[in-house]
Amino acid sequence: MIHYFLRAVGFSGIRKREDIRRLVNDVVQNADGVSRVTDEEEDVPYGVFYKQYAKGTGIAVCGSFDENGAFLYDYYVPYVTSEDITTSEEVSVERLSSHVAYEGLVDETRVGVSLIFYLRNMTDFMEHAARGRSALKGAETSLSALSDGGTIIMPVMKTLQERRITRKKAVSRYRMIADAKKGNEEAMESLTLEDMDTYTAVSKKIHESDVFTLVDTYFMPFGVECDHYSVLGEILQCHAEENPYSKETIFVMKLLCNDLTFDLAVNAADLTGEPKKGRRFKGNIWMQGAIRYPGSEKPRF
């Protein structure tokens, strides 16, 4: 099966099952590393081979080992890494029912919804859980994303004073959301009135202005899969990388979206416009994440 976001890491030319087989064999035979752990639920040695094809992006091949130590391929996942800590909020993790993979959930007030992501370093989580540790206590999360395409939009011009006012209002809103989650009725009422005022103001201005001059950034669920989102965010950093296997160019960007910072990879062929620092990226993404544990090394991929 061809992964929908495989093109985001520079493999848009893969079309056949035979191409996938060659790619999987290349990852396993020439892996940058392999992480192993015993699946406690099935008592089976499990492993993930990972190979970086361009800086920060690559393919992970997941599967189990038989009694002779031979690797049995299960599935593969394209990924993009991130060095930044996106959130320190409490995270919960659940295993998928179809195969050995995990999804994480962060109740992040800056987004306004429960943020769900595919867990990249699942072997680290399985290892901590197997040792009887509190696998999520004090953990921090680094988020990243793959995109199947997007559009570069020019920034909304703001003065330094306007940016400070916007930031102050955002911080005040985050606090009200946190209070509302604790049952504060006054905060709930304030948020409701604020949303009504915002809707009224936007409804009046939309007749004369483009929506993207009114909406600076957004982060909202997209489609039926819970870890897919539609985003509009400011580009903080951007660089182009070439996949030496396919010779395709990909852009790796650091985005600021609803005050969340995360890295994103997209195929240059799927991007409309030229990405540069200060401009904005608009597109649909598949969110990934890696959990960092206190006192542990950084995630392997």
130-176 pLDDT, tens digit each: 666 555 777 899 999 999 999 999 988 777 777 777 777 777 776 77
Would you say 133 and 47 are in contact if contact means Cβ atoms under 8 Å apart? no
CA dihedral of 28, 227, 140, 218, whole degrees rounded to 10: 130
pLDDT of 295: 66
Q: Is pLDDT of 251 > 70?
A: yes
* Residue 52 pLDDT: 94
Q: How far apart are CA 289 and CA 287, in angstroms?
A: 7
24-39 burial: b if 16+ Cβ within 10 Å, else e: beebbeebeebbebee
* E strand spans, 9-90: 33-39, 44-54, 57-65, 71-80
Roughly what angle, to the nearest 10 degrees, separates helices 185-205 and 160-181?
A: 140
Q: Does the global pTM surpass 0.85?
A: yes
pLDDT the model gives residue 133: 53
pLDDT value of residue 201: 73
Q: Could you give the CA distance from residue 295 to residue 289 in angstroms, rounded to a whole number?
A: 19
Per-residue pLDDT, 36:
87
Least confident of 55-59, 95-99, 146-150, 203-207: 203-207
Whose tokens are 């951007």? That residue is 238
H/E stretch holding 146: strand 140-153
Residue bearing tokens 């296997």:
245
Return the pLDDT at 247: 94
**So what's the pLDDT on residue 227?**
94
pLDDT band at 293, cuts 50/70/90? confident
Phi, psi of 143 (to 5 degrees): -100, 150
Q: Which percentage of the chain shows pLDDT scores above 90?
A: 48
Contact 106, 141 (CB under 8 A): yes
Q: Which residues pair with residue 95 across a beta bridge?
A: 102
Say which residues have a Cβ less than 8 Å from residue 208's Cβ, sequence separation at least 6.
Answer: none
- Tens digits of residue pLDDT in 275-290: 999 999 999 999 999 9
pLDDT at site 40: 67
User: pLDDT at residue 111 above 70?
Assistant: yes
Q: Report residue 227 CA to chain centroid gap.
A: 8
Please tell me the predicted confidence (pLDDT) of residue 238: 96
Instruction: Kindly indicate the confidence band of residue 120, based on its pLDDT and cuts at 50, 70 and 90.
Output: very high
Lowest mean pLDDT among 30-39, 66-75, 102-111, 161-170: 161-170
50-70 as b/e: b if 16+ CB within 10 A: bbbbbebbbbbbbbbeeeeee
**DSSP tag of 273:** S
